[in-house]
């Protein structure tokens, strides 16, 4: 880890890599809160819970039910093929920890996407989700359903792929997002990071957050995030507020 301090009280902390070629730099400004800077781009990564949500949001609060979600991967693949001619205007791929419980942080992330895209251009948004019954997937699906938006789910097939099921599902979600992007949709991957809480995890001694501080992010979320970035998909990384400022 390298820590530097400038005259304006800014601390730049270079943390341990999250994967082979990935680092996160944290900038802590006195009286300004926390900003996490994506390496290579200089763009800020969102740190949930650090900055107050904007007073005005564009995330709709509707009650119209969303289209029913498919319950098998085979159905999803067929549905994608059928939807290509009409396409979606905007796609959000959600990945996140099973322990994610910060709804305000997730809403703020979706609001940021709406502002970046321009609400008037969002004619048919869709959520791509791994359909985990708890944590980030379940929360995102609930929020999108309440807003009246469509959802496409990719539940992991644990019986067929066993330990690799989650990673296989992640790749299928990224592949689907790429298909939609090729039809002209704007695509964003939102990764909601919390600590790995797997009992007896063989990597529990990793110091991914800070040196001499054991802890690392959930494996599935990091994998999906990395696959999305490798595919050239814009990615918003949101860190659970309990972990900031690390």
Q: What are the residue ranges spanned by the domains of the chain?
A: 55-239
- Tell me, what DSSP letter sits at residue 174? H
The Cα 95–Cα 98 span in angstroms is 10
- pTM for this entry: 0.68
Write down the pLDDT at residue 203.
76
* Predicted pLDDT of residue 7: 45
Query: What is the pLDDT, as a whole number, of residue 224?
Result: 96
Q: What is the pLDDT of residue 244?
A: 59
pLDDT digits (tens, 9 = 90+) for 203-226: 776 766 666 666 788 999 999 999
71's CB contacts (< 8 A; 6+ apart) are 153, 155
* High-pLDDT (> 90) share of the chain, %: 49
> What is the predicted pLDDT for the residue at 130?
96
By residue count, the chain amounts to 246
Task: Give me the pLDDT at residue 216, please.
Answer: 83
Choose which CATH entry (1.10.10, 1.20.1280, 2.40.160, 3.40.50) describes domain 55-239.
3.40.50
Average confidence score pLDDT of the chain = 74
What confidence score (pLDDT) does residue 198 get? 80
Coil, helix or strand for 187? strand
Q: Looking at the chain, which runs of residues are DSSP E strands?
A: 2-5, 10-14, 25-29, 33-37, 44-45, 90-96, 125-129, 150-153, 186-193, 234-239
pLDDT tens, position by position, 159-207: 888 889 999 999 999 999 999 999 999 999 999 999 888 888 877 767 6
Question: In this predicted model, what pLDDT tens digit does every residue of 2-55 receive, in sequence order?
Answer: 333 444 333 333 333 444 444 433 333 333 333 444 444 444 444 443 333 343
**Separation between Cα atoms, residue 138 and residue 88, nearest integer Å:** 22
pLDDT tens-digit readout, 50-65: 333 343 346 664 333 3
**Three-state DSSP state, 158:** helix
Question: Distance (Å, rounded) from C-alpha 14 to C-alpha 153?
Answer: 36
Give the mean model confidence (pLDDT) for residues 104-130.
Answer: 96
> Would you tell me how many other CB atoms lie within 10 Å of the CB of residue 84?
13
Q: How confident is the model at residue 176, as a pLDDT? A: 94
Residue 238 near residue 105 (C-beta atoms within 8 A): yes
> How many C-beta atoms lie closer than 10 Å to residue 37's C-beta?
16
Separation in Å, CA 101 to CA 8, 44, 61, 77, 104: 34, 22, 20, 30, 9
The residue that leads in pLDDT, 229 or 85, is 229
Q: Please provide residue 93's backbone torsions phi and psi, each rounded to the nearest 5 degrees.
A: -95, 120
């Amino acid at each position: 880890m390298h820590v530097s301090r400038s005259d304006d009280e800014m601390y730049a902390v270079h943390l341990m890599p999250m994967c082979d070629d990935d680092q996160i730099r944290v900038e802590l400004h006195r009286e300004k809160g926390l900003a996490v800077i994506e390496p290579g781009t200089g763009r800020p990564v969102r740190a949930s819970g650090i900055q107050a949500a904007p007073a005005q949001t564009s995330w709709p609060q509707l009650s119209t039910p969303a289209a029913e979600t498919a319950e098998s991967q085979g159905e999803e693949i067929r549905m994608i093929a059928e939807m290509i001619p009409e396409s979606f205007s905007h796609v959000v791929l959600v990945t996140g920890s099973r322990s994610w419980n910060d709804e305000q942080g997730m809403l703020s992330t979706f609001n940021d996407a709406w502002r970046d895209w321009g609400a008037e251009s969002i004619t048919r948004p869709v959520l791509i989700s791994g359909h985990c019954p708890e944590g980030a997937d379940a929360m995102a699906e609930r929020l999108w359903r309440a807003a009246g938006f469509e959802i496409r789910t990719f539940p992991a097939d644990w019986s067929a792929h066993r330990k690799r099921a989650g990673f296989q599902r992640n790749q299928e979600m990224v592949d689907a997002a790429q298909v939609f992007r090729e039809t002209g949709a704007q695509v964003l991957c939102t990764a909601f990071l919390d600590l790995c809480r797997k009992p007896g995890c063989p990597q529990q001694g990793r110091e991914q957050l800070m040196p001499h501080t054991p802890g690392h992010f959930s494996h599935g979320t990091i994998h999906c995030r990395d696959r999305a970035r490798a595919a050239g998909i814009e990615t918003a990384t949101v860190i659970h507020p309990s972990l900031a400022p690390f």
